[in-house]
Amino acid sequence: MNIFRFVGDMSHLASFFLLLAKLIYTKSSTGVSLKTQALYLTVFVCRYLDLLVAFVSWYNELMKIFFIAASAYIVYVVATSTRNSNASDTYRVEFLVIPALVLACFVNETHWSKGGWSLNVMEILWAFSIYLEAVAVLPQLKMLHQLEDTTNITMHYMASLGIYRAFYLLNWVYRLYYEGYWHPIAVVAGIVQTLLYADFFILYYQSVLLRLPS
Amino acid sequence: AAEGAAKDEL
């Protein structure tokens, strides 16, 4: 594992702790998009089905289990939050889920000549999870644009997700050059996903960094 | 390498 991948993963991990800290210490899910969190849970469950059939490393296994468990817990907390004033969580997620699923059925890494049907279904779900992750942040972005007083911690959460994506891009450049490793589906979707965060970082710069006490 | 490379990322 190279340093870019590791920094990316740690930033991803930090994003979970930031969001959990916000939910637990402020006892409020205001400004957190339940739709985005439910999409992330879907992403992790679909992608990490290989937990059952492929062992890569303890690092990977534990991170996967943590991502699934933490996002399930976050969805539970946000969904059951009584003081949930998320009327602005209005993104039509079917416009994300259905195209991602259709695309995954046609553009994936299945090899029907090899492997059984279950492995190929896993490949379709893997591609679906990649496409869905690329756009899963959109409901959260829409909320950020609509809410005036977004708490800083939600913004830091988004920033750590953006850093995670940026370092994964660097990781892929490194791996393509030194290892010949490359998954075009993941790379193209990853570039799209990272570009979506560019919009967020403009907002972050304007609303958080410019307001920081000196 | 490329095609069919193991998926060892998160």
What's residue A81's pLDDT? 87
Would you list which residues of chain B are within 8 Å, Cβ to Cβ, of chain A?
1-10
Please state, in angstroms and rounded to a whole number, the distance separating the CA atoms of residues A55 and A119. Answer: 15
Choose the weakest-confidence range: A81-90, A136-145, A203-212: A81-90
Best mutation target, A133, A181, A182, to test chain B (most B CBs within 10 A): A181
Please indicate whether residue A52 or residue A115 has the higher confidence score (pLDDT). A52
pLDDT tier at A212, thresholds 50, 70, 90: low
Residues composing chain A: 214
Among A22, A36, A27, smallest CA distance to A133 is for A36
Please state, in angstroms and rounded to a whole number, the distance separating the CA atoms of residues A166 and A180. Answer: 20
- How far, CA to CA in Å, does A35 sit from each of A48, A71, A180, A204, A214? 20, 12, 36, 21, 35
- The C-alpha of A214 sits at a distance from chain B's nearest C-alpha, in angstroms, of 37
Per-residue model confidence as pLDDT tens digits over A25-44:
988 898 899 999 999 999 99
Residue A143 has pLDDT above 50, yes or no: yes
What's residue B3's pLDDT? 47
In chain B, count H helices and then E strands.
0, 0
Q: ipTM > 0.95?
A: no
Q: Phi/psi class of residue A104: alpha, beta or left (left: φ > 0; alpha: ψ in -120 to 50)? A: alpha
Residue A213 has pLDDT above 80, yes or no: no
Helix axes of A3-26 and A58-80: crossing angle, nearest 10 degrees:
30
Choose the weakest-confidence range: A70-79, A187-196, A200-209: A200-209
Helix (H) or strand (E) holding A48: none
* Interface contact B10-A64, CB threshold 8 A: yes
* Interface contact A183-B7, CB threshold 8 A: yes
Residue A148 has pLDDT above 70, yes or no: no
* A65 contact B CB<8A: no
pLDDT tier at A149, thresholds 50, 70, 90: low
